[in-house]
Structure 1
């Protein structure tokens, strides 16, 4: 969505798109008959305002003419379930999160609501009903712990180590066996925070055969005054990992399932969130096979790229040259949205922090017996 409409990160009420009317992207929008955004509940109302303003501009035939039709008259379909994750607002309150959601946009009144009632993912009717109660906030607990605390049925609770429960004592992926790879790629542990994801990915890879190969990043900061570099030693920059960036030290083995952290080639299916399996490791390239999305089964080479976090609370602009990859045996709940998995473990050393996260985590599987928390 950010790529197609030129939406900056972060986006706010005064943000403008970088796409102009006479560009290739602008002409693409002019000629579009239908525009679709999936998982729209995670989008900000400011993004919707920006898209509306952009479409009015690019479909206007005369410079002096002001297009007053919402979204420039384009048919605009947004899909999503407001039981799922809403926008993440760093340090935001419930009110801040609700205020940023699409339903608070002045454009919301222009949409006609079409409701889907069948759960196409779940094959367990009783589990589907339980999920709806979870998503609607109708589950309670018998210990009077407050309305925000729900009781998880005992059969869903993990009796052993969460890694063992999901992946077994020894986890081996045969990269030449298609069925083995597909099975492994449908297993995942979901966490609320990135620090838990990093911990669990390491524990899963420790159980895999083979030797680790380490890739270290080259870190620097973008500054106008060269004297400022002295305030931020390289060792400190190495220790910082903003959200959405690869870590300074990337540890991989052959057969590791990884996730792309940046759009490398959207036309070829190499998008942020695409999962791959590592088939070769070289000094300056990583060979991998795509296991999800439109480029499934395609062999690709992943290079190192310069990555700058677009939204960070750091007092400087960090530039990291590293492979845009992250092990994906464990992933954040927000990143798992829109995926269907065969077996899921949910790791919560502390409660979830965002609306809909628990509902998203439980609804990744098709049957009740395939989830452990």
Structure 2
């Protein structure tokens, strides 16, 4: 950030900086903000002498560390930053989202990893309340047998949550098939930055089309009028068009998408979404993939990590296999106001499902890194 830029001027005049969902931020991000503010304010005080308010819950998901071990994930948390001791801890005791007096303490036990079992399974395995179990299709349980574009607005605050992107894509395709109307497929234009003849030979266009790195739109984007979609990039932060904003498609011209924003704090107007050039920020590919496509994806379903910070009226949780990271199950269950608003569908496996033959007791694995609470 340039010392003479508008952003720098605004930060110098700022008295309080509020950082929401800070528990998802890596420790390095906190250190970078500290160094930046010291340079802008030209002093060596923590954060340049600015008051910083960090909001968040360590029961929720922690920073994502690609292929990281349990210790690497925990140590990347802001709790292990040298600046952590500079903060005063203030705990909120009242759950303002939940209106279910029995659901709230159950969620706390889930987040603390205190829900166990009495059947000799591993201590991470716990029994799911029978009222939350979905025995049939989770898609039809949440969205019904068919959807009409004129009635899609009633599902504005409805979503199915999954741990992995591949499961999210499968659920989205299934829900889209229930939506009435003709579908339109938009194809992307893919290339490699600084492409050489050798790259063209080694990585043909057909291969590039099959790639979908995290945070990137698919090559074949299939949509219908009434589809619920999510932005994958910041388009206009002042109007609330940020990464993660959910919208309903209202029209689909040839080279443009017209959609209505669902976020209550945004302007309730139709917006125009153009194709833009996108490149993944973090990838293990040996080249930089450049994709020209609409920066959106279907959002009837989303990953649990992406849902953090949002509140829904109704949620389905689809677990083809157990969650794999700290806080995922707590985040998924805590998106709604009461236990009646959430249904969970599990696929039987070694660590989840109906593990006791002849009974209706359904179990799954809860991942909690308890060492994050001890520091």
TM over 0.5: yes
| 3-state SS in 2 of match to 1:106 | coil
Divergent runs of 4+, >3 A: none
Whole-angstrom distance in 2 between the partners of 1:183 and 1:257: 11
1:269-316 alpha-carbon deviations (Å, 9 max, x no partner) = 110000110000011100001111532412100000000001001111
From 13, 34, 37, the counterpart of 2:19 = 37
Write out aligned runs for 1:269-348 (5 A): 269-348=240-319
* 8 A Cα contact 2:279 2:291, kept in partner: yes
Whole-angstrom distance in 1 between the partners of 2:257 and 2:87: 45
The aligned residue for residue 146 of structure 1 is 122
| 3-state SS in 1 of match to 2:229 | strand
Whole-angstrom distance in 2 between the partners of 1:172 and 1:201: 16
* 8 A Cα contact 1:253 1:278, kept in partner: yes
Whole-angstrom distance in 1 between the partners of 2:300 and 2:88: 39
* 8 A Cα contact 1:223 1:316, kept in partner: no
1:302-331 alpha-carbon deviations (Å, 9 max, x no partner) = 000000001001111000000000110000
1:129-155 alpha-carbon deviations (Å, 9 max, x no partner) = 100000011000232221222221111
Whole-angstrom distance in 1 between the partners of 2:117 and 2:153: 38
Is 1:237 aligned to 2:208, yes or no?
yes
The aligned residue for residue 4 of structure 1 is none
Write out aligned runs for 1:103-118 (5 A): 103-118=79-94
1:92-119 alpha-carbon deviations (Å, 9 max, x no partner) = 1110100100101001001011111110
List gaps (5 residues or longer) in structure 2: 345-375
The aligned residue for residue 104 of structure 2 is 128
Is 1:191 aligned to 2:155, yes or no?
no
The aligned residue for residue 132 of structure 2 is 156
1:192-242 alpha-carbon deviations (Å, 9 max, x no partner) = 000000000010010110010000000001136443222100000000000
The aligned residue for residue 327 of structure 2 is 356
Whole-angstrom distance in 2 between the partners of 1:267 and 1:184: 26
Is 1:23 aligned to 2:5, yes or no?
yes
* 8 A Cα contact 1:88 1:354, kept in partner: no
| 3-state SS in 2 of match to 1:352 | coil
Larger RCO (alpha carbons 8 Å, 6+ apart): 2
Whole-angstrom distance in 2 between the partners of 1:366 and 1:237: 42
The aligned residue for residue 208 of structure 1 is 179
The aligned residue for residue 57 of structure 1 is 39
* 8 A Cα contact 1:221 1:316, kept in partner: yes
List gaps (5 residues or longer) in structure 1: 1-18, 61-66, 175-179
1:331-363 alpha-carbon deviations (Å, 9 max, x no partner) = 000110111101111001011111000000000
* 8 A Cα contact 1:269 1:293, kept in partner: no
* 8 A Cα contact 2:239 2:267, kept in partner: no
| 3-state SS in 2 of match to 1:114 | coil
Whole-angstrom distance in 1 between the partners of 2:206 and 2:339: 46
Whole-angstrom distance in 1 between the partners of 2:223 and 2:195: 36
* 8 A Cα contact 1:189 1:346, kept in partner: yes
The aligned residue for residue 177 of structure 1 is none
The aligned residue for residue 75 of structure 1 is 51
Whole-angstrom distance in 1 between the partners of 2:35 and 2:261: 36
Whole-angstrom distance in 2 between the partners of 1:263 and 1:100: 25
TM-score normalized by the length of structure 2:
0.90
Number of positions where the alignment pairs a residue of Structure 1 with one of Structure 2: 344
Q: Structure 1 residues 254, 106: CA separation in 2 closer, same or farther (over 3 Å shift)?
A: same
Whole-angstrom distance in 1 between the partners of 2:94 and 2:337: 13
Write out aligned runs for 1:225-264 (5 A): 225-264=196-235
